[in-house]
Amino acid sequence: MTDAPLVLGIETSCDETGVGIVHGTELLFDAIASSVDEHARFGGVVPEVASRAHLEAMVPTIERACREAGVALSDLDGISVTSGPGLAGALMVGVASAKALAVALGKPLYGVNHLASHVAVDIVEHGPLPEPTMAMLVSGGHSSLLLVPDVTHDIRSLGATIDDAAGEAFDKVARVLGLPFPGGPHIDRVASDGQITIDFPRGLSSRKDMERHRFDFSFSGLKTAVTRWVQSEQAAGREVPVADVAASFQEAVVDVLTRKAVLACTEYDVAALQVGGGVAANTRLRAMTQQRCDDAGILLRIPRPGLCTDNGAMVASLGAQMMIKGRPASDLSLPADSSLPVTDVQTGLPVHVDHDHAH
Amino acid sequence: MRILAMDTATSAITVAVHDGEAVLAARSTIDARRHTELLAPLILETLAAASTTADEVTHVAVGTGPGPFTGLRVGLVTAQTFAHARGISVHGVCSLDALAAAAAQQGHEGDLLVATDARRKEVYWARYRCAAGQSSALDEPTVTKPADLPDGVRTLPTAGRGAGLYPELLPHALAPGGVDLLDVDAGVLAGVAAAGITAGRKMPIEPLYLRRPDAVAAAPEPKSSLRPSPRQQQRDLRRAAEREARGGEATQ
Ligand SMILES: [Zn+2]
């Protein structure tokens, strides 16, 4: 493919209906419809509510993305879609819609991995990904360290959380401190007025853990430590210094994340680190990662917050990379796979194509 | 007129191409779990069998259920997206109407019960009156336990999988001329749609879920001051949904 491919990407793995349109490495438009308000009364994302909302939003969101991007569907060179991991019923709406576009327009379809798409989105923000890149994905759903030699077909998982995702830890501690949901931005805001006065534990950082869980994360013990600390202050009749607790907690999370990410870059001799996911919006995470990357001579890339959370542009970006790199299109029989491993960057590959890397 | 028709509300994934007068080609696969995988390839196959290209299709018709939600949505979103991509109209047909139309076309005369599998020990059902190859609905479709159907309804000749699933309660499975009428046939559905399009009837595409989502997946009740965060609940719900997906229907 000589010209930059024009690709429409569909993302429906959770409660956001995302449709993005990318021209090669250029983002044309990213349309999002969220059903988050409908879930509020249930106190969490209800899969059936999310799936119904995806069906209602799907065609209008495709329409809006095309209109805003100034693109006719017939101009597209390819379609890409998140085929996993995520909520099964929600994924199916996006996958079926993408297939219908492929059939109606006679265009190739690329079924892609949601986590790989989080990595690929930075291409529309900061240009081609250095190969290899180290990627740290931190959100309410993921906490992963990924070695990415080639985002279109070779991603290796170095570590992940063994209990809570990083974003969940922020939510839970925010609740303990009486801060609203979602916890991330509120802890970030409150912590900026606080001092790091409490030495909370750094999960999986002991010598023994660094052997067995070198690049894994754990945030459950930290959450418990914060809760106990707050409760003992309350029991002693002292006022809880919310800003200091928030700052100290945030420091513990960010310290472990950035230390392990930079260590992974050093040990695997990778010169670039990319951070994605909703937690990538945290100002302390950004500052400390920048500092430690500068010290270690590592290039840091973090997309703007709107591209760190789930969206269709990231799926379109990965689809465009697949076309640029001449990867084969997916078969139209590709399934939605709710527990797709991150090592499966593309789904629905013709059976004769073998993965040329060890899983 | 060149109608592309599809239905995923019963155990069949079914596709047909119809020219307004007759079925040009129809294909069905019985698989109540793999709609996402199989529907699009089946559309390509059926279009090819009808020597029709995607850009020659003038209308899309789709079964709006009632049916198990996850599969039903695959048909609906496929039909809507295909129609949008081609810039043509999409028309909804109640899937039970298509089963009743098939019974009438097979020569059934008189009253008819259509009862399909609603999972969770219930059936989707409605009564129809068939005469001279035509059928007309006597009820709005409903979901209920088969034992809760009125006696006079339960004993009617029955199309759909309900009779096979609950033979004691729905004893009169209808199989005119040896043709079983278990699942929707998109060829018949296309004919119903063609008549509606010609008559200028409104045929909405809103899914007939007939069940509220909160009845199937209520969030866990928060307990202490350290109740699970929304994301924790979301993860729990996701795990529950995945467990269900492995064992059967994802969201029903
Ligand atoms: Zn994500």
**pTM assigned to the model:** 0.90
Rg (CA), chain B: 19
B101 and B171 housed in the same domain: yes
The residue-averaged pLDDT of A104-116 equals 98
DSSP B140-200: --EEE-GGGS-HHHHTS-EESTHHHH-TTTS--B--GGG----S--HHHHHHHHHHHHHHT
- Least confident interval from A123-132, A139-148, B37-46: A139-148
Which range of residues forms the domain containing residue B125? Answer: 97-178
pLDDT in the model for residue A261: 98
Is residue B69 one of the residues assigned to a domain? yes
Give A204→chain B minimum CA distance, Å: 21
Task: Name the band, by pLDDT with cuts 50, 70 and 90, for residue B220.
Answer: very low
Q: Of B199, B228, B244, which residue is a domain's last? A: B199
The residue-averaged pLDDT of A233-255 equals 96
pLDDT, tens digit, 9 for 90 and up, residues B2-19: 999 999 999 999 999 999
Tell me what the pLDDT averaged over chain B comes to: 88
Is residue B209 one of the residues assigned to a domain? no
pLDDT, tens digit, 9 for 90 and up, residues B68-85: 999 999 999 999 999 999
Q: Which residue has the higher pLDDT, B214 or B191?
A: B191
Nearest chain B alpha carbon to A40: B230
B108 and B157 housed in the same domain: yes
Are the beta carbons of A335 and B214 separated by less than 8 Å?
no
HEC-encoded secondary structure of A130-154: CCCEEEEEECCCCEEEEEEEECCCE
Cα–Cα distance for residue pair B137/B157, rounded to 1 Å: 15
B84 and B108 housed in the same domain: no
Residues sharing a CB contact under 8 Å with residue B228, sequence separation 6 or more, in sequence order: B220, B222, B236
- Least confident interval from A1-15, A138-152, B115-129: A1-15
B65 and B117 housed in the same domain: no
Are the beta carbons of B229 and A99 separated by less than 8 Å?
no
Among A73, A168, A333, the residue with its CB nearest the CB of B231 is A168
Chain B residues touching A48 at Cβ < 8 A:
69, 213, 216-217, 251-252
The residue-averaged pLDDT of A37-55 equals 80
ipTM over 0.85: yes
CA of A181 to the centre of ligand 1 (A): 18
pLDDT score of B241 more than 90: no
The residue-averaged pLDDT of B103-118 equals 96
B86 and B187 housed in the same domain: yes
Is residue B29 one of the residues assigned to a domain? yes
Give contacts of B 191-250 with A, CB under 8 A.
207, 209, 213-214, 216-219, 222, 226-227, 229-238, 241-242, 245, 250
The residue-averaged pLDDT of A233-245 equals 95
Is residue B72 one of the residues assigned to a domain? yes
Is residue B207 one of the residues assigned to a domain? no
B110 and B157 housed in the same domain: yes
Q: What is the greatest pairwise CA distance in chain A?
A: 70
Chain A CB within 8 Å of residue B85 CB: yes
The residue-averaged pLDDT of A118-127 equals 97
Are the beta carbons of B250 and A49 separated by less than 8 Å?
no
Cα–Cα distance for residue pair A50/A54, rounded to 1 Å: 6
What is the CATH number for B68?
Answer: 3.30.420.40
B74 and B117 housed in the same domain: no
Chain A CB within 8 Å of residue B30 CB: no
pLDDT score of A115 more than 80: yes
The residue-averaged pLDDT of B159-170 equals 96
pLDDT score of B222 more than 70: no
CA of A309 to the centre of ligand 1 (A): 6
Yes or no: say if A124 and B108 are a contact pair by the CB < 8 Å rule.
Answer: no
Task: Name the band, by pLDDT with cuts 50, 70 and 90, for residue B32.
Answer: confident
B71 and B152 housed in the same domain: no
Number of domains in chain B: 3
pLDDT in the model for residue B218: 42
Are the beta carbons of B54 and A105 separated by less than 8 Å?
yes
Chain A CB within 8 Å of residue B48 CB: no
pLDDT score of A320 more than 60: yes
Tell me what the pLDDT averaged over chain A comes to: 93
Yes or no: say if A335 and A347 are a contact pair by the CB < 8 Å rule.
Answer: yes
B130 and B53 housed in the same domain: no
The residue-averaged pLDDT of B171-190 equals 92
Q: Which residue(s) pair with A146 in the sheet?
A: A135, A157
- CB count in 10 Å sphere of residue B180: 14
Is residue B210 one of the residues assigned to a domain? no
Is residue B205 one of the residues assigned to a domain? no
B88 and B109 housed in the same domain: no
Task: Name the band, by pLDDT with cuts 50, 70 and 90, for residue B179.
Answer: confident
Task: Name the band, by pLDDT with cuts 50, 70 and 90, for residue B224.
Answer: very low
CA of A204 to the centre of ligand 1 (A): 24
B66 and B191 housed in the same domain: yes
- CB count in 10 Å sphere of residue B89: 13
pLDDT score of B232 more than 60: no
Cα–Cα distance for residue pair A69/A338, rounded to 1 Å: 30
Q: What are the tokens at A241?
A: 């210094």
pLDDT in the model for residue A15: 87
B118 and B220 housed in the same domain: no
Task: Name the band, by pLDDT with cuts 50, 70 and 90, for residue A44.
Answer: low
Is residue B103 one of the residues assigned to a domain? yes
